[in-house]
Structure 1
Amino acid sequence: MATRPSSLESGRIHHQLGKPRGLLVSPICTSRKMSSKGPCRRGHSSSDSPCVENATLVPTSVRTHSENSSLIASSIGATEVVSQQPISSNVENLAVSRMEAIGQSLSARGISQQVSSVILSSWRHGTNAQFNSAWNRWSRWCVQRQVDPVRAPLADILEFLHILFQQGLQYRTINVYRSAISSAHVPVEGAPVGQHSLVSRFFKGIFNIRPPQPKYCTTWDTGKVLRYILSLPRNRELSLRLMTLKTAMLVALVTAGRCSSLIALDLQFMQKTKTAFVFTLVKPTKCSAASKTAKKVTLTHYPPDSKLCVVKALEVYLQRTKPARGQGKDKLTSLFLSFVKPVHAVVSATIARWLRTIMASSGIDVSHYRAHSTRGAATSAAARAGVSTAQILKAADWSSESTFTRFYRRDVTTSEFQTAVLASVKR
């Protein structure tokens, strides 16, 4: 499975058409999708060029760098949006969806619809969103060249991937397209398209020419966010909106969790002790696997400051949201709920927006740092405070140290370091 792209890449990818290739008709082009004048015809596009749209603890008077890092440390120790170019309705009708292609392929092999639905559920929502977007662009490109997207020759697949490369897309982004095509395309020479020797060799070439780069070379100072939280009124005086945002940020920092992990926190699988909340992640997350036991997320009490204590924040948050959760079988058990009506369990994008709101209010440059950067900021702060690598890997659910080192462990920016030094001199 492809990794998630490191950044949103936008723009349009144009490729000058040569002579149309002969159409390869597959069972996917059903009679309801055929033109009345023949099999798959070219649409009347306004341009001769088909379009592949690429899918979107610094010292202060409040608290020292080491104290802020220790807060994170103590707790840790315990798919491309693309602009679409309009195409003719005729071409649009000929483009087959990825899930439909896979479903019809399974049906042709004698697999029942009930069994197929289970097989199609093997791709999670986030993966499907990425793959379907990439597949739609591949399918349209093929139809405009009069090529069957499910049975396209290997040369066409490589040509399509090369167009993406020419337009400057990064290795990981192009890899999403490879995986999307491979998931629905028939095997080529007995191998899945993504594993074909020439495709693999092509990607090794991309890797050598344009090596994948980490999204961030530095990280932001967690102390900025913690100092902002300290500046807020006490929990019981906060509006429900601010209480929600604050709680989400504290949970994200002390668990180094992804947004997908935060929405998986469920009250049905929560245990409360005198000093901690313990959640068992039953819902699938990015790192969930049948071979892994369900991960436990422990949120422990932070005695030095009640305003920064995630347990205190959760207690107030649960009390404030209790009336909106309802009762019986319709009770909303997801930890995080929307704070506007109609009240419902939120999705990852909403959690991400909450985190970015707090980051922006804290003075973090959200035009550069996204919500996912809280994961790197928290684990980097824990490492600076002396938490062992083994503890950090366990908290962040990483299987190898190289993942932490290559993509997440970063120092604060030079300007923040200089500010810290000057501030210490002035004192």
Structure 2
Amino acid sequence: MGRGQPEVHISSAPQRGPECGSRFSEQGKSSGIRMESEPLSFSRADCEMGPTSDRPICVTKQQQGEGLLLFKQTRSGKRIRCPSTPVGFPPVLRFSPLSIDPSGSKEIAGGIHESNPSGPLLAQKVMVCYHTEDGGGTPLGSSASKGSPNPGTSSASEHRATQFDRVVTEEQILKRKGLSDKLVTTLLGSRKDTTRAIYFKIWKRFNSWCLSKEFPPQEIFSVLEFLHEGMELGLAASTLKTQVAALSVFLERRLSQEQLIIRFFKALARARPVPFKFFPKWDLSLVLRALTKEPFEPPATATLRLWSLKLVLLVAITSARRVSELQALSIVEPFCCIFPDRVVLKTDPGFLPKVSTAFHRTQEIVLPTFCPSPANATEKSFHTLDVRRCLLHYLEITSEFRKSNSLFIAFSGPRKGYSASKNTIARWLRMAIMETYSASGVEPPAGVVAHSTRAVATSWAERAGASPNRICKAATWTSFTTFTRHYRLDLLSASDQAFGRKVLQAVVPP
């Protein structure tokens, strides 16, 4: 051929070291029959090198021409060998079970190869569409994908449900920031236990709603959809604002400053404008006149129940305080000081008002006297509304069974003598108004709430000439705007009719 004699190494099969850089599985030296990845066998060449082309050769130098490897039929011995492939074109298209990863194959535990030569061959994972790299998917055709215990649900929806169903508490959120248990307990004290319970209830309801809608709870559009659905159900703007405050705590975002949230409440205000004039649901003049007569007077004939109702109503309208503050009043000095012309009450130091500031916690409740020295029948009738007089008689008749230092105690039932709860005091206020209407022979109004005593008391005080400072101090409001926007009642509606009557008087000729 015009070239030097090549060096030829004749062997039965090429020997491989312990590590192989090819795509085949790692093989070691073995003198016995071996399992081969391809169902092929090579013919042996034991004779001298000659001009034949039917046996494999290993040439260390480049040769002219191309080497050709032919398949050779082999017999099946005692051991099970891979089936040989005849020379020719296969009738079907087959995929190689070997990995096409260029980094080389990896050993499989136990020395067993994944491929099954006798079964149908499948494509590798890299050839399957929508393959995930997080290891969460299951191979095609595996038993894990044969069915779900819940028909109609997929693994993706189950994964989302696991995320939505996780409801954390405010305490857990603070601990995740690395804060100590003592510091977490201190921070949780910034809100009342009832407020925290309400916030957590809203948070759980929001997560359940997101789960049903398949919305991510951390997105702002989910909060907006939740608020909008509440608006369609008829929730008040104050209730929706409470929900925003609750979700801000758990989402750790100031939702009230989000532009879309601000825009939502502006649209709500336009859709549901708040009327500027409120009309009282019950008449204070009628109620006070009824308290000066039977069955509320005289004290000797009035029952404990009616006297308790009378006192709690007089304290509520003369102090303009919330029910929670009335429940926190005590009869122990220095929280209860009785003077000849007034009674000064203070809430218990452990009580936390709705707005816990120094201004709200230091305001005293002054219960005045009324016509202390009556001179005629009219003044004697007015003297029956003296709050100091009613309080002294109440303390006297309840001293026999009193078991609490709270001002208002239960007068019947299994808790007789113990402190009355906020719900009980609120019910007493409603019952007192209904009893006065019934005693006057007038049908009681509908929709009366205990909180209306604050609006009625402050509105009548303004009409009588009380200054804005006195009104705000009595009701513990830092701004007079709170009264004008939320509590002021229209008590002059009758006088507003005078103009129309003057016009209609034109029917009478001058």
* Distance in structure 2 (CA, Å) of the matches to 1:291 and 1:258: 15
Secondary structure of 2:353 counterpart: coil
- State the partner residue of 2:190: 122
- The equivalences for 1:410-425 within 5 A come to 410-412=489-491
Can you list the C-alpha shifts for 1:337-381, whole angstroms capped at 9, x where unaligned?
Answer: 111232321222211110101111222744223111111111222
For 1:395 and 1:273, how far apart are their aligned partners in 2? 19
After superposition, residues 267-286 of structure 1 pair within 5 angstroms as: 267-268=331-332, 269-281=335-347, 282=349, 283-286=351-354
Change (3 A) 1:361 1:415: farther
Q: Distance in 2 between matches of 1:179 and 1:238?
A: 47
> Could you tell me how far 1:125 is from its partner in structure 2?
4.1
Residue correspondence of structure 1 range 322-361 to structure 2 within 5 A: 322-326=399-403, 332-340=404-412, 341-343=414-416, 344-361=418-435
Please tell me whether the aligned partners of residues 408 and 420 of structure 2 are also in contact (alpha carbons under 8 angstroms).
Answer: yes
Structure 2: gaps (5+ residues): 1-143, 152-160, 372-378, 438-442, 498-510
Counterpart Cα distance in 2 of 1:114 and 1:366 = 51
Write the distance in 2 (CA, Å) between the matches of 1:377 and 1:219. 9
AA partner of residue 354 (structure 1): W
- 2:398 alignment counterpart: 321
Alignment correspondent of 2:251? 185
CA RMSD of aligned residues (A): 3.2
Change (3 A) 1:167 1:118: same
* 1:252 alignment counterpart: 316
Cα separation, 2, equivalents of 1:371 and 1:136: 30
Question: Could you tell me how far apart the structure 2 residues matched to 1:362 and 1:95 are?
Answer: 52
Q: Map 1:180-219 to 2 at 5 A.
A: 180-187=246-253, 192-213=254-275, 216-219=278-281
Letter in 2 for 1:311: R
Q: Does residue 113 of structure 1 match 2:181?
A: yes
- Deviation per residue, 1:291-344 (Å, 9 max, x gap): 656111111211243321110110011112223334xxxxx1111111123232
Q: Which has the larger radius of gyration?
A: 2
Q: Percent identity?
A: 32
Match of 1:299, SS state, is strand
TM-score (norm 2): 0.57
Q: Map of 1:52-67 to 2, 5 A cutoff?
A: none
Q: Taking structure 1 as reference, are residues 239 and 370 closer, same or farther at Cα in structure 2, changes over 3 Å only?
A: same
List per-residue Cα deviations over 1:45-76 (Å, max 9, x = no partner): xxxxxxxxxxxxxxxxxxxxxxxxxxxxxxxx
Distance (whole Å) between structure 2 residues aligned to residue 374 and residue 291 of structure 1: 22
- Of 409, 419, 436, 1:362 maps to 436
Amino acid aligned to 1:134? I
Contact 2:353 2:360 (8 Å CA) reproduced: no
What per-residue deviation string (whole Å, max 9, x for no partner) do you get for residues 264-307 of structure 1?
21123111212221112332222431465611111121124332
Does the Cα contact within 8 Å between 2:360 and 2:476 map onto a contact in 1?
no
Question: What secondary structure is seen at the aligned counterpart in 1 of 2:344?
Answer: strand
Between the aligned partners of 1:133 and 1:416, the Cα distance in structure 2 is 47
Q: Which moved more, 1:163-172 or 1:348-357?
A: 163-172
SS at match of 1:160: helix
Secondary structure of 1:338's match?
A: coil
Question: How far apart in 1 are the matches of 2:204 and 2:240?
Answer: 14
User: Is the CA contact 1:220–1:412 (under 8 Å) kept in the aligned structure 2?
Assistant: no
Which residue of 2 is the match for residue 175 of structure 1?
241
The answer as to whether partners of 2:409 and 2:419 remain within 8 angstroms in 1 is: yes
Report deviation, 1:225: 1.1
Contact 1:219 1:410 in 2 (8 A): no
Equivalent pair of 1:219/1:412 in contact (CA under 8 Å)? no
Q: Identify the range of structure 1 (317-326 vs 208-217) with the bigger mean alpha-carbon deviation.
A: 208-217
Distance in 2 (CA, whole Å) between partners of 1:373 and 1:319 is: 29
Output the CA distance in 2 between the equivalents of 1:111 and 1:215: 49
Secondary structure at 1:277 match in 2: strand
Give the counterpart letter for 1:379 in structure 2.
Answer: T
- Decide whether the 8 Å contact of 1:276 with 1:311 is kept in 2: yes
Q: Deviations over 1:156-209 (max 9, x none)?
A: 11111122223333322211111111111133xxxx233333322332332333
State the one-letter code of the partner of 1:347. S
Q: Could you say which residue in structure 2 is the equivalent of 1:54? A: none
Aligned to 2:208, which of 110, 131, 140? 140
**What TM-score do you get using the length of structure 1 for normalisation?**
0.67
- For residues 207 and 412 of structure 1, the distance between their equivalents in structure 2, rounded to whole angstroms, comes to 25
CA–CA distance in structure 1, aligned partners of residues 346 and 219 of structure 2: 47
Judged with a 3 Å threshold, the aligned counterparts in structure 2 of structure 1 residues 186 and 270 are, in CA distance, closer, same or farther, namely: same
- Unaligned 5+ segments in structure 1 are 1-36, 45-90, 327-331, 419-427
Query: With CA pairs under 8 Å and 6+ residues apart, which has the higher RCO, 1 or 2?
Result: 1
8 Å CA contact 2:319, 2:475 repeated in 1 = yes
Q: 1:384 to 1:258 in 2, by over 3 A?
A: same
Aligned length: 320
